[in-house]
Structures are given as C-alpha cells and as structure tokens.
Amino acid sequence: MSSDYRSIITQEPGKRGGRPCIRGMRIAVSDILGWLAAGMSHAEIVADYPELTDADIRAALAYAADRERRIVTAPA
C-alpha cells in the first residue's frame, strides 16, 4: 500500500459524529468514497475541494480497503 493513511485520516468524537475525516477537516472518508462512486475523478474532487490533495483521496481509499480487509463475517 503506497499511502500511509494513518497520518491523514483523523477521528474526533465531536466532528462529523466521530466518523473518519481527512486531516481534521469536516470532509469525511465517506464523502470522498461517495464522490468517487458517483464517477468524479480525483481532479474533479480537488477542483471542487481545493483543500484536498490527491494524497488525501488515496488515503481515503487505503483506509476503506484496510477496513474492508478487517471485516469478519460470520459463517453461513
């Protein structure tokens, strides 16, 4: 994994309901994932939210991938 998201993703109890955010801002990982899922490119996201960087977007993806790997499902 090329992005160490741990230095970018933050969580604060009073901010965005404690959801993971980018560098203490009010932009949540889920916001970025939603924009990407809707078809926005990295460049479009950064153009709309200039406070974000391409590294922030990659960190959100890395966080989501790591979280997905850690999800344990019960046997059927």
Q: What is the pLDDT of residues 24-60, one digit of tens each?
A: 999 999 999 999 999 999 999 999 999 999 999 999 9
What letter does residue 10 receive in the DSSP assignment? Answer: E
**Token representation of residue 44:** 């479009």
Fold of 5-68: Arc Repressor Mutant, subunit A (1.10.10)
Give the containing element (helix H, strand E) for 70.
helix 54-70
- Answer yes or no: is pLDDT of 73 > 90: no
Dmax (CA) of the chain:
45
- The domain segmentation of the chain, as residue ranges, is 5-68
What is residue 34's predicted lDDT score, i.e. its pLDDT? 98
Q: Supply the mean pLDDT for the chain.
A: 90
